[in-house]
Amino acid sequence: MWHQCLCIAASIMPTLGSFNSSSLLLISLLWTISFSAHNIGAINTKKFHFKEAPKFYNSPTCPSLHYYYNNNSSTDTNITQICFQNAVNVAMTLDAAYLRGSMAAILSVLQHSSCPENVIFHFVASSSANIDYLNLKLASSFPYLHFTIYPFRDSAVAGLISTSIRAALDCPLNYARNYLADLLPQCIQKVVYLDSDLVLVDDITKLAATPLGEEAILAAPEYCNANFTTYFTPTFWSNPSLSLTFTNRKPCYFNTGVMVIDLERWRDGDYTTKIVEWMELQKRMRIYELGSLPPFLLVFAGNIAPVDHKWNQHGLGGDNFRGLCRDLHPGPVSLLHWSGKGKPWVRLDASRPCPLDALWAPYDLLQTPFVLES
Q: Note the pLDDT tens digit of each residue in 122-138.
A: 999 999 999 999 999 99
pLDDT for the residue numbered 17: 60
Q: Distance between CA 159 and CA 161 in Å, rounded?
A: 6
Helix (H, G, I), strand (E, B) or coil at 103: helix
pLDDT in tens, 38-60: 443 334 445 679 999 999 999 99
Neighbours of 238 (CB within 10 A): 9
Helix axes 21-37, 2-12, angle to 10 degrees: 150
The mean pLDDT value for 234-251 works out to: 95
- Name, in order, each residue with C-beta under 8 angstroms of 363's C-beta and a sequence gap of 6 or more: 103, 104, 105, 107, 108, 111, 199
Q: Which residue has the higher pLDDT, 260 or 373?
A: 260
Q: Distance between CA 180 and CA 189 in Å, rounded?
A: 11
Q: Which residue has the higher pLDDT, 18 or 29?
A: 18
pLDDT in tens, 143-177: 999 999 999 999 889 889 877 656 666 789 999 99
- Name, in order, each residue with C-beta under 8 angstroms of 68's C-beta and a sequence gap of 6 or more: 82, 83, 85
Say if residues 115 and 19 touch (Cβ distance below 8 Å): no
Confidence class of residue 268 from pLDDT cuts 50, 70 and 90?
very high
Whole-model pTM: value is 0.85
Residues in the chain: 374
Confidence class of residue 3 from pLDDT cuts 50, 70 and 90?
very low
In terms of DSSP H, where are the helices of the chain?
2-12, 21-37, 99-112, 131-141, 155-158, 180-183, 204-208, 234-238, 263-269, 271-284, 293-300, 344-349
pLDDT for the residue numbered 5: 42
pLDDT for the residue numbered 22: 54
